[in-house]
Amino acid sequence: MPLDWINDFLPSLRCPDTHQPLRWATAADLDRHARPEGEQALVTVDGDRFFPIDQGIPILLPQG
């Protein structure tokens, strides 16, 4: 499923808890959050909060 549309909105997306900007998860982020290699997800800029992408939709629910 193409996720290019997320790049258009990424500058506006924020963590619902910390209000930090979000970025694409790297391999190190996936490892840190014990997620499978190659999973597409977003994380906060500090990498503490993890937001999976389910069927092309980022799940931006509070984790607090």
**What DSSP letter does each residue of 11-61 carry, written as one string?**
GG-B-TTT--BEEE--HHHHHHTT--TT--EEEETTS-SEEEEETTEE---
Measure the CA–CA gap between 18 and 41, rounded to whole angstroms.
Answer: 17
Count how many domains the chain has.
1
pLDDT tens-digit readout, 12-27: 999 999 999 999 999 9
Within-domain flag for 39: yes
Within-domain flag for 48: yes
Measure the CA–CA gap between 13 and 58, rounded to whole angstroms.
Answer: 10
pLDDT tens-digit readout, 17-63: 999 999 999 999 999 999 999 999 999 999 999 999 999 999 999 98
pTM for this one? Answer: 0.91
Smallest Cα–Cα separation from 21: which of 10, 32, 29?
A: 10
Within-domain flag for 26: yes
Residue 25: which domain range?
Answer: 4-58
